[in-house]
Amino acid sequence: MRNIFRDFLNLFFPDLCVVCKERLSEGEQHICSNCLLLLPKTNFHLQPDNRLEGLFAGRVPFRHIAAFAYFVKGGSVQSIIHELKYNHNPRIGNFMGELCGEALKDSPFISTVDVLVPVPLHPKREKGRGYNQSLEVCKGISLATGIPIDSETLIRKINNPSQTKNSRFDRWKNVENIFSITNEKAFENKHILLIDDVITTGSTLESCAKEILKSEGSAISIFAVGTAG
Length of the chain: 229
What's the predicted TM-score (pTM) here? Answer: 0.89
Q: What is the mean pLDDT of residues 34-60?
A: 96
Query: Which of 67, 65, 59 is CA-nearest to residue 207?
Result: 59
CA distance 142 to 202: 23
Q: What is the mean pLDDT of residues 48-55?
A: 95
Instruction: Decide if 138 contacts 97 (C-beta within 8 A).
Output: yes
pLDDT band, very low/low/confident/very high, at 183 (cuts 50, 70, 90): very high
CATH hierarchy code of domain 39-228: 3.40.50.2020
pLDDT band, very low/low/confident/very high, at 35 (cuts 50, 70, 90): very high
pLDDT at position 229 is 73
pLDDT at 28 over 60: yes
pLDDT band, very low/low/confident/very high, at 90 (cuts 50, 70, 90): very high
pLDDT at 93 over 70: yes
pLDDT at position 33 is 97
Instruction: Decide if 86 contacts 21 (C-beta within 8 A).
Output: no
pLDDT at 3 over 70: no
pLDDT at position 41 is 97
pLDDT at 165 over 80: no
